[in-house]
Structure 1
Amino acid sequence: MPEGHSVHRIARQFARNFVGRRVQLSSPQGRFVEGAAVLDGHVMTQARAVGKQMFLEFDNGLWLRVHLGMYGAWDFAGEILMDPTIASANGRMGQTNQRGTELGTGSGTTESQAADAVLDSAGENSLRSIGAPRRTRVRMAEQEKEIDRLETFPPEPVGQVRVRLLTDTVCADLRGPTACQVLDAAEVQAVIDKAGPDPLLDDSAAAEDRFTAVVRRKPTPIGLLLMDQSVVSGIGNVYRAELLFRAGVNPHAPGKSLAEDTVRGLWRDWAHLLTIGVETGQMMTMDDLARADWVLAMKNRADRHWVYKREGLPCRVCGTHILLEEMGARKLYWCPTCQA
């Protein structure tokens, strides 16, 4: 399932390519004909992400709400413009250390400049694949990659396209979402009100206090609380495992058993890793990497994480074998020594 950084990146691509433009909406698959009809021909006025959900506003006061779920993805096609707030050759991209501070290269070359030339084996570094404008087709889901160059525009729909959004230069096709619905402003606010805080939208002390207070009054294991979108928005299976390892927290510890400083540290580290994820398109959680190791990690997903998908392998810190179990119907990876 796409985690929060992916949805924020998608929303920013909509803001860059669709907001302020009149949009044609259709449902090639036929399952969203009525919803597409009420939005067709209107100007998109806003694109925003809240955790794992995205909301697109139109000038008739209605919104398109999308939750990609496990299988959803957007394909952008056409003369795609790069969102300037996502790292590019002129931007910056940090790596992390255990305290969640940002590190420079120390060489006069920014991390983002180097990243522009680093693609992994799946072509997932979207700094290159989303960079444009040029006529191309790009997949944006949990992993992002350029699919092909276009000879004609708009391209024929491929697969079961729930909804297509089309301007003169760019189209976006949605496949396989868990939710795709038209809401009015009050309904959108009701959905947002049920969601936990998203540090990319609100990094205030009040948001941190809200998260901390909820976690510290719950008997629920912290490994479940971090996946509860009413507690905190955007965290999925990868970030859950990595955040808990980085904090040295046992995933089975009840929320109410954790020290206040520990909970606040989880919130701040989530804000930090989410920012890196949005800038880079990668869930990079490794720390203090030398330049060569950083490039290797950007190329290979297996080298980006402390514990995720490393079951049976020695912990990178203590050497204990990483455990794999099920928690909340999802796979949980953790070190029984570092997170005792």
Structure 2
Amino acid sequence: MPEGHTLHRLARLHTEYFAGGPVRVSSPQGRFADHVVVDGRYFDHAAATGKHLFHHYEGGLTVHVHLGLYGFFDTHLVPEGQEPPAPVGQVRMRVGAVHSETVYPETVRPGAEDRPAHYVDLRGPTRCEVLGEEGVAEVRARLGPDPLDPDAEPDRAWARISRSARPIGALLMDQKVLAGVGNVYRAEVLFRAGIDPFRPGTELDRAEFDAVWEDLAALMPIGVDTGGIVTIRRPHDHGDVPRRGADRPRNYVYQRDGWDCRVCGDVVRAHTMDARTLFWCPTCQAR
């Protein structure tokens, strides 16, 4: 499942592609019938909270997208005067910038007719729906603070963690506690902090929580900027080939079970926690 940095990166890109002008919104798959209420409207901006993406349109309407396990966006750059490629497969929603003077002559953005047009195709999301302002507020109210939000309130997360007997490894993945943290960031920040993922939340002290929060707030913006999760400190990066492929970031413990720990040399372990695979080093993260 994409983690929070991916959604924030998409929000940044979609704002760049579409904000300030009208867009065409369609549902080639036919499973997003409400596209008709935003088709042709001005695209104000895109935003993200945790793993949720919001396309905000004029008039207070918002398309809410949750990618879930299988959702993703394809992006097409179409030269001026050419038609976008025909949708392939099950495209739930297509959004395209309006760059032609013949479509909305009274609203076309200055100079837009001279630029290529972006189109994005959404496939396989868990949620794709049109919400009003109250609906958006309800979605956000269900989520914990987002480390990528400069106005986030980490005290809300600490209040829940400090009262919970659940393992901190499970609490970090609970979107009602912290928004946007997924399996990779969970494993990596706990390793970097030297915290046993099986420790109950009630056993953490505030300094430990603050260190985890500050680490997430420092690492996740790198993911927004680069599109990848980067967590290894330079002295521990040995230039090895990651298990997931040479083009993927190197990690401390995520998907390195059975391999030597980069820091101490012990064997990295794996265990199922709340139906997700947890990775940790029993020496560097000793309880």
Q: 8 Å contact 1:78–1:153 — kept in the other structure?
A: no
Which residue identity does 1:174 align to in structure 2?
L
CA spacing shift, 1:36–1:197, aligned 2, 3 Å: same
Q: Which runs of 5+ in 1 are unaligned?
A: 80-134, 136-149
Q: 8 Å contact 1:28–1:164 — kept in the other structure?
A: yes
Q: 8 Å contact 2:164–2:202 — kept in the other structure?
A: yes
Query: What's 1:103 paired with?
Result: none
Q: Give 1:275 deviation, angstroms.
A: 1.0
Residue 281 of structure 2 is aligned to residue 335 of structure 1: yes
Q: Give 1:202 deviation, angstroms.
A: 2.9
Residue 111 of structure 2 is aligned to residue 181 of structure 1: no
Q: Distance in 1 between matches of 2:218 and 2:94?
A: 33
Q: Which runs of 5+ in 2 are unaligned?
A: 100-116
Residue 204 of structure 2 is aligned to residue 258 of structure 1: yes
* RMSD after superposition: 2.1
What is the number of equivalent residue pairs in this alignment? Answer: 266
Matches within 5 A, 1:25-44: 25-33=25-33, 35-44=34-43
Larger Rg belongs to: 2
Q: Distance in 2 between matches of 1:295 and 1:65?
A: 39
Q: Give 1:194 deviation, angstroms.
A: 1.1
Query: What's 1:317 paired with?
Result: 263
Q: 8 Å contact 1:211–1:267 — kept in the other structure?
A: no
Q: Give 1:203 deviation, angstroms.
A: 4.8
Q: Distance in 2 between matches of 1:318 and 1:49?
A: 37
User: How high is the sequence identity, in percent, across the aligned residues?
Assistant: 46
CA spacing shift, 1:307–1:179, aligned 2, 3 Å: same
Q: Give 1:152 deviation, angstroms.
A: 4.6
Query: What's 1:284 paired with?
Result: 230
Query: What's 1:120 paired with?
Result: none
Which residue identity does 1:234 align to in structure 2?
G
TM-score, reference length from structure 1: 0.74
Q: 8 Å contact 2:62–2:136 — kept in the other structure?
A: yes
Which residue identity does 2:19 align to in structure 1?
V
CA spacing shift, 1:26–1:226, aligned 2, 3 Å: same
Q: Distance in 2 between matches of 1:241 and 1:295?
A: 19
Cα displacement string for residues 320-339 of structure 1 (whole angstroms, at most 9, x for unaligned residues)? 11111101101110011111
Q: Distance in 2 between matches of 1:161 and 1:209?
A: 40
Q: Distance in 2 between matches of 1:293 and 1:21?
A: 47
CA spacing shift, 1:236–1:301, aligned 2, 3 Å: farther
